[in-house]
Structure 1
Amino acid sequence: MKLIAETSSNGVVEREFRLGDVPGILWTTRPEPGQAPLVLMGHGGGQHKRAPGMVGRAHRLVLDGGFDVVTLDAPAHGGRPRTGLDEREIALMREAMTAGEPVGEIVARFNGDLAERAVPEWRAVLDAIDPEGPVGYLGIALATAIGVPLVAAEPRISAAVLGVFWGETLVETARQITVPIEFLHQWDDEHITRESGLSLFDAFGSKEKTLHASSGGHADVPRFEVDSAVRFFSRHLISAG
């Protein structure tokens, strides 16, 4: 893990790094990584590791929860190059949205391909940080497409906040997950039907899983869900640690 830059703001230290070709940020109040419970935080489609919402959530988790937080640019996002397949899938999504046609099949297929590339990257970052305490994962939309196979494959992750994604392609993998889950669904989502979103929640094999269903469309996830995520990780990471 190569440190690129280090800055601080409001008591939070931001360490920008690269692990191979993967750019990321470690947010912390501590001199060394791995000394606090760690939250891996993914971003939504079309966003990146330093999007305003990502920065805000990272600061909340660090200052209010006492966690370290890591964010990565997903493949084909942020400063990362796109393959020809990436460009074609993005063009198909835009065409479908412009025509008012369903995009779920395209998004699920494309995000599944991104997840195949991203899961090994997240696991390599975990190896590089080598956290002493428990690890959580936070991410909705694209970050759920990546997060479900990551949580299923990675025994170091002991709790996750996920949601706002189609269930059809993730149900079988979700059945393998038994860690505590907090799941977000937008009741009036213009892209994801209630049946599809709830089928994913239902599939998790976790004994403890909580559904947070809120009114509003796909992009209207309430800001207070960050408060809930801090409490959720405090219960399952800090208490466990």
Structure 2
Amino acid sequence: MHSLQFTAESSSNGVRERDFTVGGVPGVLWSPASGADRAPLVLMGHGGGAHKKHAAMVGRAHLLVTDCGFHVAVIDAPGHGDRPRSAHDEREIAELRKAQAAGEPEAPIVVPYNARLAELAVPEYRATLDALQELPEIGADGPVGYVGIGLGMAIGVTLVAVEPRITAAVFGMMWPDALFEAAKQITVPIEFDLQWDNERIPREASLALFDAFAAKEKTLHANVGKHFEWPLFEVDSATRFLARHLGGAVTSPA
């Protein structure tokens, strides 16, 4: 079992931020700056081409900490952030840029590449969860949630399907082609986001994936707009969803 090693720490606006590594994989943990009581943990997955401290990760984490009192953690996906790219990463990224420049479909490249990243990342997330649950302020018996958009969804659907400690999840904005079998294994509550006019990910495919989730409680949030017009108010909705299922209390207005 890999141990967790903290490598840096800072605090601002009531949020304690600690960089860590688990088995050489870098991550960051955000926690309430005061209080040692146990609280739920939310794991996050960042988007493709992003990293653990992308603005979207930091903003969502601060909201979950300050509004719900949760701990929040994310690790760099393989080939992202502080992790070196492999030769395979470089080839796939070059092919993606070539397709984008030519106006060709991205899915034939992104879907298998992200599936490969998920295959590598899932055991890393499970090892990270093992290590974080050794911390007294988190513990092994507390509820765990997950949030992943884009690549974070590709990893998260695969992870939640095999990780019984995760009891609620928020997903969205990812080609579903490689995710149907995993979705059929997921029975925990799900909130699922899609853009109704997404020019990259077919609406019908996203709706079919939503239907495939085996969860008895699942909520579809469909907003008008294209892929990069995803509304930020969905972050607030996800916060309320996780508070409801993990036991936090949202302190900001609904």
Q: Same fold (TM over 0.5)?
A: yes
Which position in structure 1 is the counterpart of 2:21?
Answer: 18
Aligned length: 239
Q: How does 1:29-68 map to 2 (within 5 A)?
A: 29=32, 35-68=38-71
Which aligned segments of 4 or more residues in structure 1 are displaced greater than 6 angstroms? 31-34
Checking the alignment, whether the CA contact within 8 Å between 1:34 and 1:133 is kept in structure 2 is: no
- Letter of the 1:171 partner, please give it: F
Task: Give the root-mean-square deviation of aligned CA atoms.
Answer: 1.4
Shift of 1:34: 8.8
- Letter of the 1:6 partner, please give it: E
Task: Choose the corresponding residue for 1:179, options 177, 183, 188.
Answer: 188
Checking the alignment, whether the CA contact within 8 Å between 2:11 and 2:33 is kept in structure 1 is: no
Which position in structure 1 is the counterpart of 2:149?
Answer: 140
- Letter of the 2:62 partner, please give it: H
Shift of 1:31: 6.8
Question: Taking structure 1 as reference, are residues 238 and 2 closer, same or farther at Cα in structure 2, changes over 3 Å only?
Answer: same
Task: Choose the corresponding residue for 1:126, options 124, 129, 139.
Answer: 129
Task: Choose the corresponding residue for 2:227, options 215, 218, 221.
Answer: 218
Checking the alignment, whether the CA contact within 8 Å between 1:34 and 1:129 is kept in structure 2 is: no
Question: Taking structure 1 as reference, are residues 161 and 34 closer, same or farther at Cα in structure 2, changes over 3 Å only?
Answer: farther
Task: Choose the corresponding residue for 2:80, options 69, 77, 82.
Answer: 77
**Alignment partners' CA distance in 2, 1:81 and 1:169:** 25
Which position in structure 2 is the counterpart of 1:237?
Answer: 246
Shift of 1:20: 1.8
**Alignment partners' CA distance in 2, 1:90 and 1:196:** 24
> Which ranges in structure 1 are unaligned for 5 or more consecutive residues?
none
Shift of 1:30: 5.5
Checking the alignment, whether the CA contact within 8 Å between 1:33 and 1:68 is kept in structure 2 is: no
- The CA deviation string for residues 194-220 of structure 1, in whole angstroms up to 9 with x for no partner, is 011111111100000000011122122
Identity, in percent, stands at: 61
> Which ranges in structure 2 are unaligned for 5 or more consecutive residues?
134-138, 249-254
Checking the alignment, whether the CA contact within 8 Å between 2:157 and 2:183 is kept in structure 1 is: yes
Partner SS for 2:58: helix
Partner SS for 1:219: helix
Partner SS for 2:149: coil
Shift of 1:172: 1.0
- The CA deviation string for residues 77-116 of structure 1, in whole angstroms up to 9 with x for no partner, is 0010111111111111111111011101210100000001
Which position in structure 1 is the counterpart of 2:99?
Answer: 96
Which position in structure 2 is the counterpart of 1:154?
Answer: 163
- The CA deviation string for residues 63-82 of structure 1, in whole angstroms up to 9 with x for no partner, is 01111000111111001011
Checking the alignment, whether the CA contact within 8 Å between 2:8 and 2:18 is kept in structure 1 is: yes
Question: Taking structure 1 as reference, are residues 70 and 59 closer, same or farther at Cα in structure 2, changes over 3 Å only?
Answer: same
Which position in structure 1 is the counterpart of 2:251?
Answer: none
